Chain A
């Protein structure tokens, strides 16, 4: 009996309130009551707010099972219909078509809707509300707090560090901008300004020759006013010597020279001089060619003292990309240099030359030489007209100055040549151990091959860039190794040329060609038809010969053994 009044009391307490319960009943009861009280308001709110209508159908049936089983197909629409307000169609689903249609509708309606509402439920109930509350609370608290510290800080910083701020931005942008601008502007300056500076000087006779003449002129300006004479003469000699190679530039240079009033008489005489000079220069070249390996040595030996001044400047301007061009030009220049050196030896004027070189620039040498040979160097053209042997030799000696000027000018020509060859040189150029340049095997070809192999071997055939780079490196190594082997084989056979037999021998040693597989069976397997045809055109015969030889040798050996 005592229990019943307590229960009644509890009920009454619930109605009255929590505080009364706390006073009367035990803690356990309080907690139970709390739990019973608290969820009641919370649950209906949630259901009602988010998915009130949905809960009832989801409780009644499991959505997926009836749909899957055909036997239960009739039930599902009923359930779905029952749950939904569409009550009129309950009679309809007798026909299978209608049943299916209803099913589909129900499914279509269910699945996305449930997802939506679940998501909505989750979002609305737990995180959003709490976060909103939090944000509201925090916003109120932080609004005053947040703006105040940054403002104070900035104000303090700006007030205290005005000087620093001024200093700060200045160094940073110049570093970035200056480095880049220097790089680009320097090149442009090297190319452009000389043209501009010299253009006004030439305007009367300007033709196509302006560009090259500008380059020559720029060089002369950089050195000395005296250098102008030497440079001009040098240009003329350049014409004479390298007519075959680069006619246009030098001819144009010649026009440039002629444009100046002082050298007009030279024009008429040029042809004669050329004829005579060509022979002598050719001889000199021949002598230089005989000496062969000394090119660089001879050049250094003669000009060491002179060129120390000139070379560093012109070598600085050479970009490393243009090594190839530089080499070609040096090769072209070296014979001329040597020719000059030999002529000098013949003339025994080296001592005077070196004395002059030690004193000053190349132009000074020329002048001194002339003074030594001929007392009256003032009238250059007149001397040329006389066409004395001494003059010719003197000219040749000046070729040295010419060569210097050429070498110094060469970097200025290079940009033009570089522009011409820019496309070729974009490819990565590597240098073998023999100093020969070669382009690495193109990556796309390697990739194509590798993908084809990967596909054959049963992969998806995709090759990442890292893999490709690794493969490219491997190919480079492979070709290096193979060519070394082949050259060794050719050398062993006493041949200078690498022949197909060498490759076949290599493949035999690699165990690629065995008794069962010939090079042609491999080629048939691996190579496209075009290459296969080209392979078959010649080497079939060679291979046959090789086989015969092998047979013969074997027989001979046997015979020899027998005889022995």
Chain B
């Protein structure tokens, strides 16, 4: 299940503003966070597959590093 506590909205808004250099509508950050959760899910899924391929137990940093490039490309609009 999704985490019960909220994510730090202010931080996310700040990061988005900092990168985009534009003001955000009211609930943009929630949608972005939704997108981020999807991204993270994807990363974890791929990393798990990758780590299984490599015969590792659990998700290792190496597999995450391998996978995240592809996932970022997938989530490139």
- Chain B interface: which of A86-94, A199-207, A259-267, A477-485? A477-485
CB of B77, distance to nearest CB on chain A (Å): 4
Q: What is the interface residue range for chain B against chain A?
A: 35 or more
Contact A510 B15 (CB under 8 A): no
CA distance A484 to B6 in the complex (A): 24
Contact B5 A479 (CB under 8 A): no
- Chain B interface: which of A73-81, A273-281, A306-314, A446-454? A446-454
Which chain B residue shows the least CB distance to A499? B25
Contact A479 B16 (CB under 8 A): yes
Contact B12 A441 (CB under 8 A): yes
CB of A355, distance to nearest CB on chain B (Å): 44
Report if A497-B22 is in contact (Cβ < 8 Å); known contacts: A462-B58, A510-B74. Answer: yes
Which chain A residue shows the least CB distance to B65? A470
Query: Does A425 touch B at the CB level, under 8 Å?
Result: no
CB of A538, distance to nearest CB on chain B (Å): 6
Report if A528-B4 is in contact (Cβ < 8 Å); known contacts: A436-B18, A446-B40. Answer: yes
Inter-chain residue pair count (beta carbon < 8 A): 213
Contact A445 B38 (CB under 8 A): no
Which chain A residue shows the least CB distance to B14? A438
* Most B C-beta atoms less than 10 A away, residue of A449, A484, A503, A522: A503
- Chain B interface: which of A187-195, A529-537, A552-560? A529-537
CB of A524, distance to nearest CB on chain B (Å): 10
Contact B71 A479 (CB under 8 A): no
Contact B37 A503 (CB under 8 A): no
Q: What is the interface residue range for chain A against chain B?
A: 35 or more
Query: Does A459 touch B at the CB level, under 8 Å?
Result: yes
Contact B15 A439 (CB under 8 A): yes
Contact B60 A500 (CB under 8 A): no
Report if A453-B61 is in contact (Cβ < 8 Å); known contacts: A500-B28, A528-B3. Answer: no
Report if A481-B76 is in contact (Cβ < 8 Å); known contacts: A498-B25, A510-B35, A522-B34. Answer: yes
Report if A534-B8 is in contact (Cβ < 8 Å); known contacts: A466-B60, A474-B71. Answer: no
Query: Does A442 touch B at the CB level, under 8 Å?
Result: yes
CA distance A533 to B4 in the complex (A): 13
B26 proximity list for chain A (CB < 8 A): 538
Question: Which B residues contact A (CB, under 8 angstroms)?
Answer: 1-8, 11-12, 14-28, 30-41, 43-45, 47-48, 58-61, 64-65, 68, 71-72, 74-77
Question: Which A residues contact B (CB, under 8 angstroms)?
Answer: 431-434, 436-442, 445-446, 448-450, 452-454, 457, 459-460, 462-464, 466-467, 469-471, 473-475, 477-487, 489-490, 496-500, 502-507, 509-510, 512, 519, 522-523, 525-528, 530-531, 534-535, 537-539
> A441-B15, A486-B16, A486-B20 are known contacts; what are 13 more A-B pairs with Cβ within 8 Å?
A439-B14, A453-B45, A467-B47, A470-B61, A478-B75, A482-B32, A483-B19, A483-B20, A500-B27, A502-B28, A523-B30, A527-B34, A538-B26
